[in-house]
Structure formats: C-alpha cells, structure tokens
Amino acid sequence: MKVAILQMEGTNCEEESYLAFQKSGFEPELIHINLLKEGMLENYDMLFIPGGFSSGDYVRAGAVFAARLKAKIWKDLVNFVNSEKPVMGVCNGFQVLIELGLLPGVDGISDEPKAALMTNDSNRFECRWVHLKKERDTVFTSHLPGRIMLPVAHAEGKFVANDKIIEQLEAQKQVVLRYVAPDGTIPNYPWNPNGSINHIAAIVNSYGNVFGIMPHPERAFFWYQHPDWSRNAREHGDGYYVFKSLFTSIFEAKNR
C-alpha cells in the first residue's frame, strides 16, 4: 500500500511521517512538488501532505503550496479524491487542503476556500500538548480511543467558517476531533490552543476520505515521544492509532 508524501521548501515533518507510515506497514515515498507530473498519483493508494511552513507561509499558511498543486496536478487531485482514496493533511497540510477547496468539503470540492485557519487568538506560535476527544469513527480514526493527547505546533490554527458551513459540518458529522480540557470538559486557552470555532481540531469532507488535522499524530507515534513516557510506559503513542486506522481501512478496501 503506497503512500505519496509531498514535500516542498519549508515542509519539515516529512521524515517523522515517513517513519510512521513505514512502521505501520505502508510503503511511503517522498515526492518533491517539483517532480510531480500528471498521472503520477494513479500509482498511489493514499496522499499525505505533511506539516511545516511551506514557502515560509507567505501570503497565507499553505496558500503557495496549494497554488502550485493546482497548477501542476489539479485534475489528478480531483480524480484521486473522487475515487475515494484517502487524503490526509497535518497542520500545514490541513491548511493546504483548506486552500485547495478539498476541505471542509460540505458540498464536495470547491473552486475556492470555504473556510480558513487563522492566526491563533494568542497571536503567537503555540507549541504544546493538547487533549482531544474523538467524535466519530472514520477511516482515519476507527482505532483511536475516545480521548487522546497529541502535540500542536502552529501560529495559524484557528478554524473559522461562516455559520452555514459550521452548521453543515456539525449536521453531517464531519467534525472528527475536538479540543477538550484535561478532564474532558469544554476547553479554555490553552487547552483550545488557537480559539477554533466549536473547538474543532480535525475534520473530514462529506465523503469521509479527506482528513485535515491541526495536531501532529506523527509526533506522538512512539510512546517515548509523550511527555509522561517514563511514568506510563506502553507500546505505542496515541498518534500510532491514526496510522493503524488507515492501514486497516486501506487494506480492507483493497482486498474486498
């Protein structure tokens, strides 16, 4: 099961992502955006856009990365999504998916952004561990426990959209993960690190195959990456279960 991990100047989480996919049983491949050609995506079972600061986050976070993808392989991207293959973007990758119009995807693919990931309410870069509550099972979250911890590292992570989009996201159960306080209650800052509407941390499109998440599962793949690793040893970190969910889902789909 082959995963295309895209990279360009400024991405900085591709190595951790590569290792997480590899340790989960996938065959990951790093592909620089300059090497992308029409028809290439047909050879892959999944597309992954990692975190970082692509093109220095000039214009807006993820905007340049998205514009270059649209210019090079937009038709292939649309076909990939319509074929129901999974697409995942983490942090800056989530921002790219928003800029492409693949998310929030309440009514399918859009020609222009229908939401935004704005500057954090704190007006500063937030790098901390957060608590998340799973709202539903998807191909990306089926093996996740109900509550997990993942790290965030972003300056523009506040999910915003107009009231209609938010209502559709909630009604169609496209919100997959929300920020919560350590006791599971409604979070204030810093447990909602950016001020996202409805404490949204991760969403899927209406078809359930495009996933955007601000926290970093690849940075919590191994248990020793967790802040309390020495007190509560176990085999895997919470991020591992995102990749396990994907492997199980894609494997089952390919062997039906």
Options 16, 91, 126, 131, the catalytic residue: 91
Cβ partners under 8 Å of residue 186, min gap 6 = 180, 199
Q: How does residue 248 score in pLDDT terms, banded at 50, 70 and 90?
A: very high
Set out the domains of the chain in order of their start, with CATH numbers: 2-254 (3.40.50.880)
Buried-exposed string 160-171: b where 16+ CB fall within 10 A, e elsewhere: ebeeebbebbee
For residue 252, pLDDT beyond 90: no
Q: How does residue 102 score in pLDDT terms, banded at 50, 70 and 90?
A: very high
Identify the pLDDT of residue 87.
98
Stated as kind and residue range, the H or E segment containing 100 is helix 92-100
Angle of CA points 222, 228, 234, to nearest 5°: 45
Options 154, 199, 216, 226, the catalytic residue: 216
CA of 86: how far to CAs of 82, 157, 158, 209, in Å?
Answer: 10, 22, 24, 5
Cα separation, 152 vs 179, in Å, equals 11
Weakest mean pLDDT among 18-27, 61-70, 185-194, 245-254: 245-254
Q: Which token pair is 159? A: 């999910």
For residue 240, pLDDT beyond 80: yes
Q: How does residue 235 score in pLDDT terms, banded at 50, 70 and 90?
A: confident
Active site residue 91: yes
pLDDT digits (tens, 9 = 90+) for 33-78: 999 999 999 999 999 999 999 988 888 899 999 999 999 999 999 9
Q: Which token pair is 14? A: 């591709």
**Other C-beta atoms within 10 Å of 252: how many?**
10
Q: In percent, how much of the chain has pLDDT > 70?
A: 100
Active site residue 216: yes
- Mean per-residue pLDDT, 106-112: 93
**Other C-beta atoms within 10 Å of 111: how many?**
9
For residue 256, pLDDT beyond 80: no
Options 14, 99, 126, 218, the catalytic residue: 218
Cβ partners under 8 Å of residue 74, min gap 6 = none
For residue 254, pLDDT beyond 90: no
For residue 255, pLDDT beyond 80: no
**Other C-beta atoms within 10 Å of 201: how many?**
29
Active site residue 218: yes
Among 68, 3, 82, smallest CA distance to 41 is for 3
Cα separation, 166 vs 49, in Å, equals 24
Q: What's the whole-model pTM score?
A: 0.96
